[in-house]
Amino acid sequence: MQDIGGDPVAHNRAAWDKLVQEGNEWSRPVSSEAVERARLGDWSIVLIGYEPVDRSWLPADLTGKDVLCLASGGGQQGPILAAAGARVTVFDNSPGQLGQDRMVAARDGLELRTVLGDMRDLSAFGDATFDVVFHPVSNLFVPDLAAVWRECCRVLRPGGTLLAGFLNPDVYLFDHEALDERGELIVVHKLPYSDAAQYSTEERAAKFGADAPLEYSHTLADQIGGQLAAGFVVTGFTEAPHQSNASAPYMSYYFATQAVKPG
């Protein structure tokens, strides 16, 4: 079926703004208590699922480090990193998600910057601007990845680090309703998968809801090979099961990489 998704950036911007209003779990800001603990050096953030990121993947001291939280709005990772001493920029496609970060910053006296845009276009930033790019699971919301990795490499300083979380592409093999509602792993889709290519507008509305974000699977060649092609050296890899659904006993739902821009 031909991809009939229209403009995924505009669609997913509206979709995530609505999810913010509905209180989606990835839009719930951190507490003031968590921010205060981070100021004292006691903090964790998630890159995949509910798993705290390995602290060794980040600089030992974040004080004064320039960190880009890429497609990472929601008032979660950015404020914690800012409280830990980093100079944080949160970049996201959703004004609502960015509003959560600004709310936490105002509430808890944090300095951070928010920028609206498509993760494939970081032209708002100059070359070699950041020491760290923190990119939690979010690139499923764009249809192509090469530009994401090229832009991440461009805006990082030599020796800078990209931390990227993404979905195991195999999770898109399964029927969504059977997995979420009945706990059944029923293979129905070919890969790579796209909501927009697999279903008509009417079918998507019936299956996921008319306002649901558009999702796209990406091959490991595009995820990991794409980072290598952009110039990164992959220095770390980890995986985690889904935090709640029926796939957890059988497979890893999430993957994550640590990659370095050569100096």
How far apart are the C-alpha atoms of 157 and 159, rounded to whole Å? Answer: 6
User: For 9-13, 39-43, 196-200, which range has the lowest pLDDT when averaged over its residues?
Assistant: 196-200
Mean pLDDT of the chain: 96
CB 259 within 8 A of CB 235: yes
Q: What are the tokens at 189? A: 């889709």
SS3 label, residue 34:
helix
Q: Is the pLDDT of residue 4 over 80?
A: no
- Is residue 176 very low, low, confident or very high in pLDDT (cuts 50, 70, 90)? confident
Task: State what percent of residues in the chain have pLDDT above 90.
Answer: 90
- Is residue 177 very low, low, confident or very high in pLDDT (cuts 50, 70, 90)? confident
* Helical H segments across the chain, by residue range: 8-22, 32-39, 77-83, 95-108, 146-155, 176-182, 195-198, 201-208, 220, 226-230
Task: Give the residue carrying structure tokens 């306002």.
Answer: 211
- Is residue 106 very low, low, confident or very high in pLDDT (cuts 50, 70, 90)? very high
The packing angle between helices 32-39 and 95-108, to 10°, is: 60
Q: Is the pLDDT of residue 3 over 80?
A: no
Mean pLDDT value across residues 249-254: 96
| Beta carbons within 10 angstroms of residue 190's beta carbon | 10
Q: What are the tokens at 248? A: 């957890």
Q: Is the pLDDT of residue 197 over 60?
A: yes
Q: What are the tokens at 62? A: 């974040």
Q: Is the pLDDT of residue 19 over 80?
A: yes
CA distances, 76 to each of 81, 98, 114, 180 (Å): 9, 10, 13, 25
**Cis bond before residue 192 (omega within 30° of 0):** yes
Q: State the sign of the Cα–Cα–Cα–Cα dihedral 65, 159, 162, 42.
A: negative
How far apart are the C-alpha atoms of 88 and 132, rounded to whole Å? Answer: 10
Q: Is the pLDDT of residue 2 over 70?
A: no
Residue-level pLDDT at 149 = 99
Q: State the sign of the Cα–Cα–Cα–Cα dihedral 113, 117, 119, 122.
A: negative
- Is residue 235 very low, low, confident or very high in pLDDT (cuts 50, 70, 90)? very high
CA distances, 54 to each of 89, 140, 197 (Å): 21, 23, 36
**pTM of full prediction above 0.85:** yes
Q: Is the pLDDT of residue 169 over 80?
A: yes
